[in-house]
Structure 1
Amino acid sequence: VLNRYTYASTLSHLRRTNTPIGRDGKIAKPRQLHNTHWGLVCPAETPEGQACGLVKNLSLMCYVTVGTPGFPLIDFMRQRGMDLLEEYDPVINPRATKVFLNGTWVGVHRNAGHLADTLRSLRRKGLLSFEVTIIRDVRDREIRVFTDAGRVCRPLFVVDNRPESTNKGSLILDQTHLAKLAGDQDMLQNLEGVSEEE
């Protein structure tokens, strides 16, 4: 039953997560906060007693993605030089980077850094949904793009790191964003939702 005593208790109840193991167990590991929960799970809010650490709450700023279609991204990446998996010949380009969309290997790309930067800039401009997760794994030579529902993300401010920029090292945040925030409008265009892998 949804707790409606106060507005804060309602929000807390809606953000509750439950670990589905027995409450009477003495194992401490499931009750502890894992390092990957940083920014996603509140480290302090948990009940006392048998449910301590098994019932956790999402952080106030994190959210669960609702999902967006991923097929337009395949066409976009093909126009930007991605070879589909069926067309790829490993003899011609053995150092190509694998491209995954929602966990499915869809193709390979020769210039992974440029593709990842292009996708991130489109997300920052609002042309891609802010829920799209773009992960570039240099060591494994992979780009993983996620658009599916059910991922827990947290907001992240973007720092301008372009070498030619006069504002290098500064936040990409200005008075218009603050005015939108004060007006309770959507300012997620220049913020990014970041999953734990990104």
Structure 2
Amino acid sequence: GKVFDLRVGIRHQTLTNALKYSLATGNWGDQKKAMSSTAGVSQVLNRYTFASTLSHLRRTNTPIGRDGKLAKPRQLHNTHWGLVCPAETPEGQACGLVKNLSLMCYVS
């Protein structure tokens, strides 16, 4: 049979433009279907101080609504030991939903 060549089926310029759009706007998904795209996936890196830059690079986000009253997603699980910092979390509606990796946590 005939060997399938991926370069023929996909134009590299289409992928490049889609990636540039997603990184620039933070909206990930199809440009034509903006309502179904996920917002806030990419962010501008905070460079106020060196410590704030490191904190921003080690931040994780739980993708659920901030106005929810459920306590379970905001609490640390036993398996988070040594991976998630138990003290560093923002105040307000994002409390417990935005977590930071612990100091000695290494992502490979």
Q: TM-score w.r.t. structure 2 length?
A: 0.59
Structure 1 residue ranges, 4+ long, deviating more than 6 angstroms after superposition: none
RMSD: 0.5
**Percent sequence identity over aligned pairs:** 95
For these two proteins, the number of residue pairs brought into alignment is 65
Q: What does residue range 183-198 of structure 1 map to in structure 2 within 5 Å?
A: none
1: CA distance between counterparts of 2:71 and 2:99?
Answer: 14
Of 11, 22, 29, the residue aligned with 2:54 is 11
SS of equivalent to 1:63: coil
Query: How far has the Cα of 1:60 moved from its partner?
Result: 1.3
Name the counterpart of 2:69.
26
2: CA distance between counterparts of 1:41 and 1:63?
Answer: 11
Does 2:93 match 1:40?
Answer: no
2: CA distance between counterparts of 1:55 and 1:47?
Answer: 7
Map Cα deviations across residues 78-128 of structure 1 (whole Å, 9 max, x no partner): xxxxxxxxxxxxxxxxxxxxxxxxxxxxxxxxxxxxxxxxxxxxxxxxxxx
Query: How far has the Cα of 1:54 moved from its partner?
Result: 0.1
Q: What does residue range 93-108 of structure 1 map to in structure 2 within 5 Å?
A: none
Runs of at least 5 residues in structure 1 that lack an aligned partner in the other structure: 66-198
Which residue type is aligned with residue 32 of structure 1? Q
Instruction: Mark the structure with the bigger radius of gyration.
Output: 1
1: CA distance between counterparts of 2:47 and 2:103?
Answer: 18
2: CA distance between counterparts of 1:5 and 1:63?
Answer: 24
1: CA distance between counterparts of 2:106 and 2:49?
Answer: 21
1: CA distance between counterparts of 2:50 and 2:86?
Answer: 21
